[in-house]
Amino acid sequence: MSDRASGVRARADLIGGIAWIAFGVAILAGALAMDRLERFGATLHTAPGLVPGLLGIAIALLGTLLAVRALRQGAVGELAAPWSPSPEGRRALRRSGVALLLSLVYTLGLLGHAPFSVATASFVFAFIMVFDVSDTPRTLARRAMIAAITAVATTAAVALVFERIFLVRLP
């Protein structure tokens, strides 16, 4: 790994370590705030907060180890450096970001709010169209035809398999 890459990794680990410490402390605080249920005969060993509290401590400790290791690897020096991913890194981030956005629109926005067939067919069609543009040199009409056929076939097959064969309700 190059010095720059290991520096970036160390910076990410430092931020990650601090986030884990905060998470562990929050879990511990939540555990300490839990009712001890002594009126029901609970002792320290059976209190609901015992195990989460121990896990919170473990996460905070491991987060500390991660942060300390990152500091030794020069993470502090990297903190001031500008955050500029490589062109490939930017492209990868954009692609997964778009995929995530489309998935969120489908699962949180469309499912349960629009008819299943409309929601699913629109999602599959949009997904193929968006990524096909950058990945293959097809013409727009051919691309749209492939996307439409896949969208309709997927919707029909999923509805058939889940509703008719497995007898479960669709969202």
Partner 1 sequence: MFDGLIAFGHSIATFATPLSLFYVAASSLVGLVIGALPGLTATMGLTLMTTMTLTLPPEQALLILICTYVGAIYGGSRSAILLNIPGTPASAAACLDGHALARQGLAGRAMGIATSGSVLGTLIGMVFLAWFTPVLGELALKFGAYEFFWLALFGVLISGTLTGGDPLKGWIAGIAGLFVAGIGQEAIYAYDRYTFGLRELSGGLSLVPALVGAFGLAELLVTMKQRQPPVEINPFDSVVPKLVDVARYWKTILRSGCIGTFIGIIPGVGEDVAAWSSYAAAKRASKEPEKFGKGSIDGLMAAETGDNACVPGAVIPVLTLAIPGSAPAAVLLAAMLIHGVRPGPLIMTEAPQFVYDVVAMMLFATIGILVYGLTLTRFMIRVLQVPQTIIVPIILVLCAVGTFALAGRLFDVWTMVAFGVIGFVLRSFGYPMAPLVLGIVLGDLLEKNLRRGLVLSNGDLAPFFTRPISAVMAALIVLIVLFRLESVRRLARRFTRAPSTGDAA
Which member of 2, 3, 44, 83 binds partner 1 (CB under 8 A)? 44
Residues 14 and 70: beta-carbon distance below 8 Å: yes
Give whole-number Cα distances, 43 to 37, 47, 52, in Å.
Answer: 8, 6, 16
Binders of partner 1 among residues 7 to 36 (CB under 8 A) are 9, 12-13, 16, 20, 23, 27, 30, 34-35
Would you say 98 and 129 are in contact if contact means Cβ atoms under 8 Å apart?
no
- Rounded to the nearest whole angstrom, what is the least distance from the CB of residue 22 to partner 1 in the complex? 13
Residue 166 lies near partner 1 (rule: CB under 8 A): yes
Q: Which pair of structure tokens corresponds to residue 131? A: 């990524």
Q: What is the DSSP string of 106-142?
A: IIIIIBTTB-HHHHHHHHHHHHHHHHHHHH----HHH
Distance CA 65, CA 14 (A): 10
Q: Give least dist CB 23 to partner 1, A.
A: 8
Does 160 contact partner 1 by CB under 8 A?
no
Question: If binding means CB under 8 A, how many residues of this protein chain bind partner 1?
Answer: 69
Question: Tokens in use for 136?
Answer: 């293959």
Residues from 75 through 134 that contact partner 1 (CB under 8 A): 91-93, 95-96, 98-100, 102-104, 106-108, 111-112, 120, 123-124, 127-128, 131-132, 134
| Run of H or E residues at 55 | helix 50-72
Residues found near partner 1 in the complex (CB under 8 A) = 9, 12-13, 16, 20, 23, 27, 30, 34-35, 37, 40, 42-46, 48-52, 55-56, 58-59, 62-63, 65-66, 69, 91-93, 95-96, 98-100, 102-104, 106-108, 111-112, 120, 123-124, 127-128, 131-132, 134-136, 146, 150, 154, 158, 161-162, 166-171
